[in-house]
Structure 1
Amino acid sequence: LALDLPVTEWADEEGIADQEILERITKASDRAMAEKAANYGPEVLRMAEKSLLLQILDQQWKEHLLSLDHLRQGINLRAYAQKDPLNEYKREAFNLFDGMLTGLRETVCGVLSHLEIRIQATPEEMEARMAAERADREMHEGRIDPALTSPGADDDSADGETMVRSRQSAASIDPQDPSTWGKVPRNAACPCGSGKKYKQCHGKL
């Protein structure tokens, strides 16, 4: 269960029963899974559980069918022991199926206990995050205001753009108040912190 528990110390306690130790382990396991659900979110964890369950079930079902095939090949030998091969096959096939379900539960619980999920951001999310960090950094450095574009130059061309930045106190720029931004270049990050270019955000025509 990927748990670090003082089971040996519990077993040394006077008067403690096996059932009580089992209950402590179960509670600790439940707490660990609840923490995973809180960290990853219930929806993400449910998706992971379903995916792992299907993969493990598929593998164990294949192994179960192989075991049934082996059982079928040798079941007629039971007749030498004065036993009905059909009844013996039904009984042993049921035991194999019951064992498969038990093994499935144990394997799924073990895998989920060791499960660690890494959620990677999409390229769009990464780009937006980096743009927002750059905008925030520029605001704190007082480099947002103002950059002027030379007459007749293309707004989208970095070569035709003359950037004039002034040192401005970061405290004087309010992301929620456009009137404090001054003249923002159209290709610069929008001071509102959205991560978009100004021309695609508050400067959109």
Structure 2
Amino acid sequence: MIEAGFVAENPQAGVRAVVRKTQKETQGNGFQIEYFYRAHSGQDLPAHLHMWWEEKFEILSGSCTYQLDSKQYVAKAGDTVILPAKKAHIHPWNTGDEELHMIQTDTFEHASPEAVIDTLNTIATQYGLARDGKVDAKGNPSPLQLAVSMQSLLKHGGYLAGPPPVAQKVLFGLLGGIGYALGYRSSYPEYLNSVSG
């Protein structure tokens, strides 16, 4: 199980993440991750939304771009970015010449330790797959891996920005079942160990 202090790296996206708070520290009401993005590192997640939690990003240094409801915005050191529940968004990514340092705090409308665990495990696994070269040039895992990962997030109200949630439940339910039967998992033990440094 991921605990505070866990470190994950995605060299392809140029990001290092340090988990600061898990379900233990928040009583299951969210989590907190500190990020370090190299200059001009680009996006590491697709557009998505959460039905019952808000995401806040405190920009400590550097500058970034983020997307909310298909519109892009710029933020810099000292700014706080709020991504509300039920709104499609892309997390801030580094568009500047310096390292981007920020803290993400996700706050749930109700306690759900399982949502924290599943989300952190999925993030760690996606970073691990990238480290092992098991993603495409854009950082996407195979369709079956994506489907199995999305099954884990859908049950907690996490969706891609499109297609509609009902279609995602059907699509990822079908493909995720096939992927699971073929050995794909939403998380793998080898990626749930903190990277050194």
TM-score bracket for the superposition, by shorter chain length = under 0.3
* Greater share of strand: 2
* Greater share of helix: 1
Larger RCO: Structure 1 or Structure 2 (Cα < 8 Å, ≥ 6 residues apart)? Answer: 2
Task: State TM-score, norm by structure 1.
Answer: 0.20
Instruction: Please tell me whether Structure 1 or Structure 2 has the larger radius of gyration of its CA atoms.
Output: 1
